[in-house]
Amino acid sequence: MPHAILPPPPISPIFAPISHADRACSPYPEETLSPGGLALQQRVINSQPAFNLALGGPAALSLGAIRQDAEAVLAAGGRYLVIRRQQEVVGIAHLLANNPFDKHPWIGLLVIDSEMAGKGVGRNAVSQLCHHLTRLNPAPVRLCVQLSNPAALAFWQRCGFEQIEEDLDEENRPIAILQAIPHNGANPR
């Protein structure tokens, strides 16, 4: 009996490919909710304790908390990506190509390992993430920043985003809603 040739398995829908492997953002082969995927997220997120505190959490998040957040993102249609510098994973992001509430693409999370801070990795990732999102949805890219995190607000403004409103998040914490300044997505300054 001849063997059937099966098509290759699909690329994980969780770590969406957004560029070639030689760029800063690239697909990561592990599933978001696998033990390895969760540990990767935990390592990167916990390298930035000030970020976790600004979100009202502990300085270091447990694997259970990471899993709960990831499940919520995936349930909403979001996708996780890793940020690479050469072959090393140095950050994570999650994206929503079409927010059902405003029809804009959103960057839901971008965390760069603290050891990479100030080396241009974050700005490069923002540029590539915005380019990818605008190919999927031409509306300006949006995101939110906790107002208790002025360093993050300044970072996103340097990357070509402007504040369009203030609101409260689901935990009633004040946030700024930012949008990429129109002209080819975000434009790092």
**pLDDT value of position 24:** 47
Percent of the chain residues past pLDDT 90, beyond the cut: 52
Q: Can you tell me the distance from the alpha carbon of 114 to that of 161, in angstroms, rounded to the nearest whole number?
A: 22
Per the prediction, the chain carries an average pLDDT of 81
Higher-confidence position of 164 and 87: 164
**Per-residue pLDDT reduced to its tens digit, 89-138:** 899 999 999 999 999 999 999 999 999 988 899 999 999 999 989 999 99
Terminal alpha carbon distance of the chain? 63
Residue with tokens 């995936």: 74
Higher-confidence position of 179 and 86: 179
**pLDDT value of position 184:** 45
Q: In what order do the strands lie in the sheet with 142-146?
A: 25-26, 79-85, 88-96, 106-112, 142-146, 174-180, 161-168
**pLDDT value of position 183:** 61
Q: What is the mean pLDDT of residues 156-172?
A: 95
Percent of the chain residues past pLDDT 70, beyond the cut: 80
Q: Which residues are registered as beta bridge partners of 180?
A: 161
Q: What is the mean pLDDT of residues 23-46?
A: 73
**pLDDT value of position 88:** 83
CATH number for the region 25-180 comes to: 3.40.630.30
Q: What is the mean pLDDT of residues 4-14?
A: 32
Question: What are the boundaries of each domain within the chain?
Answer: 25-180
